[in-house]
Amino acid sequence: MNIDVLFLDEDLCVVHTIFDMKPWRISKAVINSRSVIEAESGVLRGKVKVGDCLSMES
């Protein structure tokens, strides 16, 4: 199953995206990223772009 991948900096802002990444692939190193979010392919496309900042709520 393919995935969508978001790379986030320390402020939870998106610095790089990969949409529809195939299984068993390794992405390039994203120097400014501090965390990664993975989701089922298609879930994030068109909803999140580089520069968007996310927030966490409890």
| Contacts with 55 (C-beta within 8 Å, 6 or more apart), sequence order | 12
Q: Work out the mean pLDDT of the chain and round it to a whole number.
A: 96
Q: What is the mean pLDDT of residues 49-58?
A: 95
- C-alpha 5: how far from chain center: 3
Q: What is the mean pLDDT of residues 25-53?
A: 96
The confidence score (pLDDT) of residue 58 equals 87
pTM of the model: 0.92
Rounded to a whole number of angstroms, the CA Rg of the chain reads 11
* 51 has pLDDT over 90: yes
Strand order in the sheet with 3-8: 14-21, 3-8, 35-40
Angle at the Cα of 11 (from 7 to 17), degrees rounded to 5? 20
Higher pLDDT, 2 or 56: 2
